[in-house]
Amino acid sequence: MISRSCKWLIAGLALTVLGGCVAPKTVDYSAYKQARPKTILVLPPLNTSPDVKASYSLLSQVTFPLAEAGYYVLPITLVDETFRQNGMTTPDDIHQAPPNKLKEIFGADAALYITVTEYGTRYMVISSETAVTATAKLVDLKSGTTLWTGTARASSEEGGNNGGGGLIGMLITAAVKQIINSSTDAGYPIAGVASNRLLSAGHPAGLLYGPRSPKYGTD
């Protein structure tokens, strides 16, 4: 027979598990649906990770998911050169520019502000993980209103299985992965996965479909 204290413990655990499955993030899309941006200006991402490659590694891969979502994205190289000609050479300076000024210069409907908070490889004795985490917000350049915010993470260890070969095998595998990841930009393909997760439309709390998508207006 189960004691009363055990019954309370089981009930508590059940509630905890159920609580963890309740209510995914809810997003207020009212301002987004009212603005319905067509063209997006992607600003060079801020980088708070230790890896200097993080900002432009992610920037070079954001156009595809945004275009797939149905938006026209201003060409990244053209935008970068325009900022340089206007004396803004760092993401920190660019993110401080007033929305109305960005509207005046580029004529875009909205700007995407991205921050990379994690990028690169960590060596953890018996494993070596390459991970990328980024947050983003979409801002209406006419009003300065934030239309949407999101975050995403991708890791080389997703679905990984390091159980084979025993402890020595895991140590060797981790060491080899660390050498390979340190000699190449292992974060680049992971950044591609993270950018797709962050900026794809059609999933809970994601971007709405843009006017170039056949699904426009269905979300």
pLDDT in tens, 6-44: 443 334 434 333 344 444 567 889 999 999 999 999 999
Q: Print the domain residue range for 145.
A: 24-199
Domain for residue 106, yes or no?
A: yes
**Is there a domain that residue 207 lies in?**
no
Question: d(Cα 202, Cα 23) in Å, to the nearest integer?
Answer: 18
Residue 8 lies in a domain: no
Other C-beta atoms within 10 Å of 45: how many? 27
Confidence at residue 29, expressed as pLDDT on a 0 to 100 scale = 94
pLDDT band at residue 62 using 50, 70 and 90 as cut-offs: very high
Q: Is 6 inside a domain boundary?
A: no
Residue 12 lies in a domain: no
Q: Which residue has the tokens 């990028």?
A: 119
| 46-47/110-123 β-pairing | parallel
pTM: 0.78
> What's the token pair of residue 55?
């900002």
- Dump pLDDT digits (tens) for 194-214: 999 999 998 889 999 999 999
Query: Mean pLDDT, to the nearest integer, of 151-180?
Result: 61
Q: Check which CATH number belongs to the domain holding 69 and give it.
A: 3.40.50.10610
pLDDT of residue 125: 52
Q: Is residue 161 part of a domain?
A: yes
Q: Which two tokens stand for residue 118?
A: 């994690």
Domain count, the chain: 1
Report residue 201 as tokens. Answer: 């439309």
